[in-house]
Every structure is written in C-alpha cells, then in structure tokens.
Amino acid sequence: MAGEPQDDCLFCKIVEGHVPATIVRETDTTVAFRDINPQAPTHVLVIPKAHYADAAALAAADPALAADVLREAQAVADEDKLESYRIVFNTGAGAGQTVFHTHAHILGGRGMQWPPG
C-alpha cells in the first residue's frame, strides 16, 4: 500500500535504521543521506519516510510531502554552501531509477553539463 514501509525496499530499511547510511539531515517526514556512489562532490539523496515508488506517485498522493522533499533539498544545498546545484528525480527504470522509493538526488560542487545524458 502506498505510504506504507515495504519489506524489500532498501530506502525503507534506511528509514527504519536497519541499513546504515551517512545521514546528513532528518525531519519528521524526510531523511537525507550521502549517496554511496557519488557523482559529484555533493551527492545527497533526500527521501520521504513514507514509501512511494516514484516522484509521480508521491506528487499525486501527497503534494505536501513532495514539498517537504524539495524543502530539504534546499536545506542540503544550503548546508553544503552550494551556489548552484542540480535536483534529479529519476522516475521509472527507463529514466535510470534503480531503487523504487521516491528520492531526489542533490548534486553540486562541480560544473554540470546539459543535456545530462
């Protein structure tokens, strides 16, 4: 069921404290942690604590929680003193999503190219 923890979800396990992560921020509704395979000097994932498969599902079911994720993305950028940064939501396997729990990638600390590839 949407919003409920999933036993087979890596990010749900991080939220529950069953899988370790380098957590940089936590609120009542979100967790932000360093990516284990960083693609930039700052590469942090911001996830909702509630399980939604992707950004589209989150936006449709809980717009306020989607806003919390974006607000925390800004807080991560502020804490890392990023003047510019990229926020990426991969939605679906064809877009590169590998963990099907909504997450925003916050990337910064180096130049970014366009298109991203």
Element (H, E) at 44: strand 42-48
Active site residue 43: no
Q: Per the residue annotation, which of 51, 101, 103, 105 is the catalytic one?
A: 103
Q: How far apart are CA 49 and CA 28, in angstroms?
A: 8
- Which residues are catalytic, by number? 103
